[in-house]
A and B are shown apart, each in its own frame.
Chain A
Amino acid sequence: MRRTTSRIVPTAVALAASLAFAAPALAADNGKFRIGVVTFLSGGAAGPFGVPSLNGAKVLVDALNEGKLPAPYNLKGINGVEIETVIVDENGGATKQVEEFRNLAERHKVDAVIGYISSGDCLAIAPVAEELKMPTVFFDCGTSRLFEENKAPTYVFRTGLDAAIDNIGAARYLVDSGRKLDSVASIQQNYAWGHDSWADFSAAIQQLKPGVKVATEQLPKLFQGQYGAEISAISVSRPDVIHSSFWGGDMEALVLQGAARGLFDKRAAVLTCGESALDRFKGQAPNGLILGARGPFGAFAPQNPLSDWFRTAYRGKNEIEPTYPAFKMAQAILGLKAAVEKTGAKPGTIPAKEAVAKSFKGLNFESVSGTVQMARAGGHQALQGIAYGEYSFDAKSGKATLANVRHYSGECVTPPDGTTAAAWIKAGFPGAQCK
């Protein structure tokens, strides 16, 4: 009898607990505009990307609900309807994310989903979003395949930029800065992101400066953390420039270990995701290190009432400067708000999902990074420029800024519809409009 009781009690507790946690999922429609926000809350991408983007979402949603945003976003919530978020951890792989997405749509009955940093997750979610007719805004993932595989999207939008743009912009910056550029070394994380970034960059640099030699191609494991041998191999290969799409802790470790060994003393290095650690490098990154922010975000964002407001509000709540993932999340939310309000639905009501998708297509909206045109992939992909600049740390003030910043317009670095990024680069960027 006692043995039976000892098994029943924990089982009952477990069941009770599971019911308690399931309750919010079954909540009835409460008239709020419900957004599923999916970003990394655990794993290696949480610290550099997931948490800043979630913080960005919280700052923006709270302010929207209080009607505190500058015009044209001063209507409370979305179309006058209070926003409610359902937050989901992106960690766990694409299969889990598809299940979570279905949960958001069918159990939480969200009105839209904003999220996804991992390209693998975006590729898995896009067809499900179309199947469930759920307006879905990808705020960060960079894969070029998103709209190459999903050629006639209706409900899927991306307000972040294609990763090819990061690397075309980096190549243009290096050439335009007039640096010695006879050879380039590559160090990338050994998975699709690293391979694709290097393929785009090496092809672009060959087009812009034919004859550039590849000194070495290093492909350490994701989250390896120790790069001693790779740093030696790059040093021995004596490149003029180092290109890396490293992100997060891997990027910070590479900079720390490389700087301690003088890797950046005699050569330029470009980090396409470097801005995310701008305020964390302190004196450890050498001045002159070239950083990107995957678009005109973070420290590269132009000064306008929206970006000024966002910086102040974010700093007020989080006591640090917002980095590019926070800007990108804010941009996605503003895009959704603009699309919903453009439907012409009566203020205080939530328009149909079909109307939101139709309204989002080809939308122009103001954002924390300037004006965004949904002008690629048939109106589903944002067209924006990109900027690069050099890290500059002032030891006296303890502040890091960006020097020698160059901006490239969207038309300069983005392939036109109907061609892939790889084909556009290979053809020599036909139609590119660069000032």
Chain B
Amino acid sequence: MTTLYAILIDGMIYASWLFLVAAGLTVIYGVMRILNMAHGSFYSIGAYSGASLVGWYFAGGDGAPYWSYLLLLGAALAAGLFIGLLVEQGLLQFMYKRDEILMVIITYALLLILEDATKLIFGVDPYFTYQPYSLLGRSSFGELTFANYDLALIAVSVLIGAACWLVLNRTNRGKVLRAVIQDREIAVAMGVNVKLMFAATFVVGTTLGALAGALTAPAISVSPGIGVEVIVLAFAVVVVGGLGSIEGAIVGALLVGLTRSVAVHLAPQIELFVIYGVMSLVLAVRPQGLFGRNLARKI
């Protein structure tokens, strides 16, 4: 019984983190059809920004500890907005009519550049900003104890998932965005400013990536290469759920998170394989992913 609820809670916590990481990737692909390889770098920049700012805040030693959560959010927003605008306005807007494969290569190049830029700016020493993680204390369920920070991440992911869904499905802006997703050319013909939509979407996507990094930073040692590690997982989640689908990302994260949790508890030897096993199985049955649509190809 203990193992069962440990699997469920661990699975939910991991799934919520996976969704946080994958949400920005999904939003950008869903609207812009860009498989953004540089998403891991936005995660990494968010983590470094959050860790630096919070580290600096606690080094001062005078402030109220709970303000550190606002600083994490602020760092993620500032980093996401800045890097998102810089990349979209400085590079991607000139590439939109290119082939999707070329966009993958361009964003891969961007990933390599940003990885080195991150090292130049933040150095290679790890950042260890633990205070926000331990500040919330812990909760016990029977003989198991969980960090409240991890449990709070579940609530944050639900909020972000709900916000994405509401904006896309219940607001005028969301309807316009869906029109762009359905057919970019018709949307332009109807007077939609697609360039502005793309810029806004990209900035939202990068900010979500940076937010995931900033929220993860207090639980890990922020060091070079963390962005490369998460991009593989994020791809697994969005591929399982269906590229560009928020609902798919939620279900994909839950499926991958829970399956991994089962493996860790019952068969740890196959933990490494199980995430990609799930991905392979889903793709074998539904190549477009669980919530992906079969699109007619324009000739």
User: CB within 8 Å of B: which residues of A?
Assistant: 41-44, 46-48, 50-51, 190, 216-221, 223-226, 228-230, 232-233, 235-236, 248-250, 252-253, 256-257, 259-262, 280, 282, 284
Q: Is the CB of B226 within 8 A of A223?
A: yes
Q: Is the CB of A218 within 8 A of B264?
A: yes
Q: Is the CB of A219 within 8 A of B268?
A: yes
Q: Is the CB of A253 within 8 A of B3?
A: no
Q: Is the CB of A253 within 8 A of B264?
A: no
Give the complex CA separation of A42 and B124 in angstroms. 7
Q: What's the count of A-B pairs with C-beta under 8 Å? A: 136
Supply 17 A–B pairs (Cβ within 8 Å), ascending by A.
A41-B124, A44-B224, A46-B224, A190-B272, A217-B269, A223-B225, A225-B229, A229-B265, A233-B264, A235-B145, A248-B223, A249-B220, A250-B221, A252-B126, A252-B221, A261-B145, A284-B134
Determine whether B165 belongs to the interface, using a CB cutoff of 8 Å to chain A: no
Give the complex CA separation of A232 and B14 in angstroms. 12
The distance from the CB of B235 to the nearest CB of chain A, in whole angstroms, is 15
Q: A42-B119, A44-B223, A229-B10 are in contact. Are A280 and B264 (CB under 8 A)?
A: no
Q: Is the CB of A219 within 8 A of B269?
A: yes
Q: Is the CB of A235 within 8 A of B143?
A: yes
CB-based closest 7 A-B pairs: A249-B221, A252-B221, A229-B264, A229-B10, A260-B147, A232-B6, A47-B126
Determine whether B219 belongs to the interface, using a CB cutoff of 8 Å to chain A: yes
Could you say which residues of chain B place their CB within 8 Å of the CB of A228? 10, 13-14, 146, 150
Q: Is the CB of B229 within 8 A of A224?
A: yes
- The A interface, classified by DSSP as helix, strand, loop or mixed, is helix
Q: Is the CB of B6 within 8 A of A233?
A: yes
Q: Is the CB of A219 within 8 A of B271?
A: yes
Q: A216-B268, A235-B145, A260-B134 are in contact. Are A225 and B226 (CB under 8 A)?
A: yes
Out of B3, B130, B219, B225, which one reaches A236, CB within 8 Å? B3
10 other contacts beyond A42-B119, A51-B125, A221-B272, with CB at 8 A cut-off?
A: A44-B224, A218-B268, A220-B272, A228-B10, A229-B260, A235-B144, A252-B126, A261-B145, A261-B146, A280-B128
The distance from the CB of A254 to the nearest CB of chain B, in whole angstroms, is 10
Nearest residue (CB) in A for B18 is A226
The distance from the CB of B109 to the nearest CB of chain A, in whole angstroms, is 15
Could you say which residues of chain B place their CB within 8 Å of the CB of A235? 6, 143-145
Give the complex CA separation of A261 and B6 in angstroms. 13
Q: A44-B224, A47-B126, A228-B10 are in contact. Are A260 and B133 (CB under 8 A)?
A: yes
Query: What band does the interface of chain B fall in when counting residues whose beta carbon is under 8 Å from A?
Result: 35 or more
Determine whether B17 belongs to the interface, using a CB cutoff of 8 Å to chain A: yes
Q: Is the CB of A220 within 8 A of B271?
A: yes
Could you say which residues of chain A place their CB within 8 Å of the CB of B229? 223-225
Determine whether B149 belongs to the interface, using a CB cutoff of 8 Å to chain A: yes
Give the complex CA separation of A253 and B126 in angstroms. 11
- Binary contact track B79-115/A, C-beta < 8 Å → 1, others 0: 0000000000000000000000000000000000000
Nearest residue (CB) in A for B257 is A229
Q: Is the CB of B265 within 8 A of A248?
A: no
Out of A47, A190, A250, which one reaches B224, CB within 8 Å? A47
Q: Is the CB of B219 within 8 A of A253?
A: yes
Could you say which residues of chain B place their CB within 8 Å of the CB of A261? 138, 145-147
Out of B6, B146, B225, B260, which one reaches A43, CB within 8 Å? B225
Determine whether B261 belongs to the interface, using a CB cutoff of 8 Å to chain A: yes
Could you say which residues of chain A place their CB within 8 Å of the CB of B145? 235, 261-262
Could you say which residues of chain B place their CB within 8 Å of the CB of A44? 223-225
Q: Is the CB of A225 within 8 A of B220?
A: yes
Could you say which residues of chain A place their CB within 8 Å of the CB of B124? 41-42, 46-47, 50-51
The distance from the CB of A185 to the nearest CB of chain B, in whole angstroms, is 11
Which of A46, A248, A259, A282 has the most chain B CB within a 10 Å cutoff?
A: A46
Nearest residue (CB) in B for A260 is B147
Q: Is the CB of B221 within 8 A of A229?
A: no
Could you say which residues of chain A place their CB within 8 Å of the CB of B13? 228
The distance from the CB of A272 to the nearest CB of chain B, in whole angstroms, is 17
Out of A42, A223, A229, A284, which one reaches B130, CB within 8 Å? A284
Could you say which residues of chain B place their CB within 8 Å of the CB of A262? 138, 145
Give the complex CA separation of A42 and B229 in angstroms. 14
Give the complex CA separation of A220 and B260 in angstroms. 11
Give the complex CA separation of A43 and B134 in angstroms. 27
Could you say which residues of chain A place their CB within 8 Å of the CB of B130? 256, 282, 284
Give the complex CA separation of A249 and B48 in angstroms. 14
Determine whether B294 belongs to the interface, using a CB cutoff of 8 Å to chain A: no
The distance from the CB of A225 to the nearest CB of chain B, in whole angstroms, is 4
Q: A260-B147, A261-B146 are in contact. Are A230 and B264 (CB under 8 A)?
A: yes
Give the complex CA separation of A134 and B2 in angstroms. 58
Could you say which residues of chain B place their CB within 8 Å of the CB of A236? 2-3, 6, 143-144, 265
User: In the complex, which residues 206-248 of chain B have their Cβ closer than 8 Å to any Cβ of chain A?
Assistant: 216, 219-226, 229
Q: Is the CB of A233 within 8 A of B226?
A: no
The distance from the CB of A180 to the nearest CB of chain B, in whole angstroms, is 18
Q: Is the CB of B3 within 8 A of A229?
A: no
Nearest residue (CB) in A for B230 is A225
Give the complex CA separation of A282 and B17 in angstroms. 26
Could you say which residues of chain B place their CB within 8 Å of the CB of A216? 268
Could you say which residues of chain A place their CB within 8 Å of the CB of B6? 229, 232-233, 235-236
Q: Is the CB of B220 within 8 A of A260?
A: no
The distance from the CB of B153 to the nearest CB of chain A, in whole angstroms, is 10
The distance from the CB of A371 to the nearest CB of chain B, in whole angstroms, is 32
Give the complex CA separation of A260 and B131 in angstroms. 11
Nearest residue (CB) in A for B134 is A260
The distance from the CB of B84 to the nearest CB of chain A, in whole angstroms, is 24
Give the complex CA separation of A217 and B265 in angstroms. 10
Q: Is the CB of A249 within 8 A of B223?
A: yes
Could you say which residues of chain B place their CB within 8 Å of the CB of A248? 126, 221, 223
Could you say which residues of chain B place their CB within 8 Å of the CB of A226? 14, 17, 216, 219-220
